[in-house]
A and B are shown apart, each in its own frame.
Chain A
Amino acid sequence: MIRFIVRRLLQLIPTLFGLSILLFIWLRRLPGGPETAILGERGTPELRAQIRANLGLDEPLLVQYGRFMQRMLKLDLGTSISTKREVTTEFLERFPGTVELTITAMIIAIGVGIPLGYLAARRRGSFLDSASVGGSLIGICVPVFFLAYVLKAVFSEELHMFPSSGRQDPTLGATRITNFFVLDGLMTREWDAALDALWHLVLPGIALASIPLAIIVRITRASVLEVLSEDYVRTAQSKGLSERTVRGRHILRNAMLPIVTVIGLLTGGLLSGAVLTETVFAFSGIGAFLYEAIANRDYPVLMGFIMIIAVFYVLVNLLVDVSYSLIDPRVRVR
C-alpha cells in the first residue's frame, strides 16, 4: 500500500512537468496579453509594448519558460500581474472557500443522494422511485445559474432566510486563521461567525450539489438494483439475517464501489463547477478568481492555480483508489 502511494506520488513529477509545458504554450498562444487588461481605454500601442517588455513577454518562449521553471523549483509561483500579490497568498486566501463549498455540496449530494437512490431501488416502481428518478433528471437539466437565481429569489429576497451572497457577514469582523471560515470560528470560539459562515454555505451548497446529487441518486439506484438481483442477497435474506445486516453488509457495501468512483470524479469536477456558483453567489473562491485571471491574461495566476489544482486532483483520485481497498478487501492496490 505504501509503495503504491509513493509510486503514485512520484508519477506526479513528470505529470506536472508535462502539464506546465502544455499550459505555458497554450496560454502564450492565446491572443492578446495582460497589458490590455491593465491599461484599458488608456492604452496606447507604445504603452502596451512597454508593459509587455517590462513583464518579459517579448522574450523568446524558451527564455520565459526557463524563468518560470527556475522560480517553480524554488516553489515560488511568482506574483499576480493584476493584483501584484503573491500567487501562493492569493491561492491560500481563496482555496479554503472553494473547499468549504465543495465539501458542503458533497455532504448534501452524498447525504441525500445515497439514501434516496437506495430507497428508490428498494421500492422500485413506487411513487418515491419515479419521483427521485424524475427529480434527478431535472437536477441534471436545470442550469446552475438559474437554480441559483431561483434559490436567491425565494430564500433571500422573499423569505430573508439565507444571505444571497458572500462567505460571511463582513460587519462581524471575524478573526482569520486558516481562512476556512467555519473552522476559524470554531477555533477562536466566535460561534456566531462560524454559524454565519455555515449559513452562507447553504444556498451555494445546494446549487452546486444539484448535478452531483442527481448523478449519485441514479448511480446508487442502478448499482443497488444490480446487487439486489444477486444470489447472495437472496441467500442472505432467506437465511434470516436481519434487514439491517443485509442492507449494510451485503447490499450497500457491494453497491458502493461504482458510487465511490463516481464521487471521486464528481469531487474533481466540482472544482470547475464552482466557477459559476462562486460567481453568482459572490463567493470568494478560486473559481471566480481563475475566471477573471483568464480574461486578464494573468499568466502567473493561471499557471500557479492550475498546477496546484492538478496536484489536488491527483491526490483526491489517490484517496479514491485507496478507499476501494477499504470498502472491498478483494480489490488490492498495487
Chain B
Amino acid sequence: MRPSRRKAAIAVTAVAILAAAGCAESDRDGSGGTSVKDTLVFGVAGDPKVLDPSLASDGESLRVARQIFETLVRPEEGGTKPSPGLAESWTPDAAGTTWTFKLRSGVKFHDGTDFNAEAVCVNFNRWFNSTGLMQSPDVTPYWQDVMGGFAKNESDELPPSLFKSCAAKDATTVDLSFTAVSSKIPSALMLPSFAIHSPGALKQYEASNIAGTADDIKYPSYAMEHPTGTGPFKFKTWDKPNKSLTIERNDAYWGDKAKLKTLVFRTISDENARKQALRSGDIQGYDLVGPADVEPLKGEGFNVLTRPAFNILYMAINQKGNPALAKPEVRQAINFAINRQALVDSKLPPGAKVASQFMPETVEGWNADVKKYDYNVEEAKKLLAAAGASNLKLRFHYPTEVTRPYMPNPKDLYELLAADLKAVGIEVEGIPLKWSPDYLNATTSGSAHDLHMLGWTGDYGDAYNFIGTMFDRQKDEWGFNNPQLFAQFKDADTTADPTQRIAKYKALNAAVAEFAPGVPISHSPPAIVFGKGVTGVTPSPLTDERFSGATFK
C-alpha cells in the first residue's frame, strides 16, 4: 500500500508542475544570459527608492536617474563646474533674476517625442504648481531645498518660491525667471531632480498624482515603472524581488551613444559581499568601496577610481551646550588641540586631506588665507587658561553602526579626537549613539550635546551648499546666534555678479574660521571600483559617473 501511495504523490506533483508549465508563458525576449561583453552589472549599496528624480534625494535613485535623464546644465565630466547639458548656453539678464537658456536641437525623449522649450516649461511648471502631497518635504526634497516653496504654498512652514516663471521664447530658447538673485542658479539646476522629463509620459502616467494620505503616500506608476528622459540609457525593468534594475542603450541618443547594450544595477547592501561578488565575477564594479579595500583591490588588478573629495568631516561645538563654549578662545583652543594630520594619516582613506575650512578646495570661494589652527598643545592650554576654562568637561557624541563617505570609522575617529582633547586637559564624556535614528536627532536638536562629529557631502558645486547650509541661520546643532554672520550670508547669496560673490564667500570662510564654530577636520575621497578591463568611466566628485562611456577592454 505504502509504495503505491508514494508513487501516486510523485505522479500528482509531476502532473501539477506540467499543468502549471502549460498555463504559464515566458515573456522573456530570449536575448539574456549569453552576452557578456556589452552587459555590465554594477553593485550598489541600496535599492533606488523612486525612478522619478523630482521625488528623490537618495544617492541610489539619483545614480539611476543620471543615466536615464539629463538636465539643462550638467557638471563638467569629473568636476563640479556647470557645463552644457540639454542647454548649450545660458546667460542671466542685467538684474540677475531671469536666465535665458539656449537649448540643444534634435533631441528626442525615449518615447520619441521632441525635446524643446515647451517641454522645459512643462517640467518647471509641474514642480512649481505642485499641490497636496507633492508639497510634502519628503516628496519633493530638492525642489524645496533649492526653490523653497511653490506657486500656492499649502503650509505656513513653506518659504516663498525662488522660482517665478518659465517662458518658451521659441523652440530652442527658454527663459527661467526667479524672484530674487541666488547663487544657487545655475549650479543647482545640475541636480538630477531638475532633469527634464517627457511631457507626454508625465501626463500619460500621471506623474504628479501622488495618492494616499500623508502617512500613507503612494507613488504614481510614472515614478515606479515609466521614467522617460533623454539620456543615453532607457529604463527597461526593475526586478524588485531580485533587487536589480536594468537599463538599456538608447540608440536614438543625440550624443555619443552608450557603448554598453545593457547596464544592470544590483543591490548588495553588505560591503564585504560586494567585494566578494566582484572577485567572483558576479558583478563588474561597485560603489562605496571600504577605505581598507582600496589598496588590496588595486593590487589585485581591479580598476579602483578615486573621486575628488567633495565632502567635509567636522567636529561641531554647541555653544548652548556648555557656557564656556560660547567663548571664542575656548573654541579656538579646541581647534588648536586637534592633530588633524595624524588623524588623516592614520584613519582616513588614501588621498584624504586636512580641512582648513568647512568646504573643499574644488569649490569656488575657498580661501587659502583663512586663520589656520595648526596642532599646538601649548597654545590650546594657554587659551583655555586665559578663558578660565582649564578644567572643562564636555559631552562628546559619536555615531555607531554607520559609515559615511566622509567618516568611514566613527569610533576610531572619536577615540583620536578624545585623546587629543584630553591632552590639553579637557575631560571628555563619550556618548555613543546609533546613527539611525538616534544620533542625528540628538546632535541637531536640543542642547544636550557639547561636541559631536558630523559631515556633509555637497549636492552641487556651490559654496552656499556647504557653508550656507551650516551657518546661515541659528541652528541647534551649533547653538549660536550671530546676526552679523547671517547677514553676510544673505548678502553673498543675493549678489548677482559671480566675481563679487566669490570674493564674499572667501570673506565668509575667513569670518567662519575666526569665529571657530567647530573644527573642520578632513575631506575624504570616496572610491568606486570596476572589474579588470572595464574602462571609460570618469570618477565624479558629485557621484555623477556616466556609465555610457563604460566599455570592456
Contact = CB atoms under 8 A, between A and B. Distances in A.
Given A187-B20, A282-B268, A170 B242 contact: yes
Interface string B261-283: 01010111110111011011110
Given A31-B438, A164-B280, A56 B214 contact: yes
Interface string A242-285: 00000000000000000000000000000000000001111010
Interface in A150-165: 152-153, 156-157, 160, 163-165
Interface string A163-175: 1111111111111
> How extensive is the interface on chain B, given as a class?
35 or more
Interface in B217-276: 217-219, 224, 237, 239-244, 246, 262, 264, 266-270, 272-274, 276
Contacts of A32: 434, 436-438, 441
B145 to A, nearest CB: 7
Nearest to B158: A50
B494 interface: no
A172 B33 contact: yes
A284 B268 CA distance: 9
Q: Which of A79, A94, A168 is the most central at the interface, judged by chain B CB atoms within 10 Å of its CB?
A: A79
Contacts of B28: 172-175, 188, 190
A33 B440 CA distance: 11
Interface string A21-50: 000000000011111111111111111101
A284 to B, nearest CB: 5
Q: Which of A47, A93, A166, A296 is the most central at the interface, judged by chain B CB atoms within 10 Å of its CB?
A: A166
A163 B244 CA distance: 15
A160 B272 contact: no
A170 B266 contact: yes
Contacts of A50: 137, 155, 157
B421 interface: no
A296 B457 CA distance: 21
A177 B23 CA distance: 11
A43 B440 CA distance: 8
A127 to B, nearest CB: 34
Q: Which of B41, B273, B441 is the most central at the interface, judged by chain A CB atoms within 10 Å of its CB?
A: B273
A38 B272 CA distance: 25
A176 interface: yes
Contacts of A296: 436-437
Nearest to B476: A45
B95 interface: no
A51 interface: yes
Given A40-B440, A156-B276, A179-B241, A171 B33 contact: yes
Nearest to A285: B241
A97 B239 CA distance: 13
A165 B29 CA distance: 25
Interface of B: 17, 20-21, 23-29, 31-33, 35, 39, 41, 47, 49-50, 57, 136-138, 141, 145, 155, 157, 212, 214-219, 224, 237, 239-244, 246, 262, 264, 266-270, 272-274, 276-277, 279-282, 401, 434, 436-441, 444-445, 454-457, 469, 475-476
What 5 A-B pairs are tightest by C-beta distance, nearest first?
A32-B437, A170-B244, A156-B280, A173-B32, A282-B268
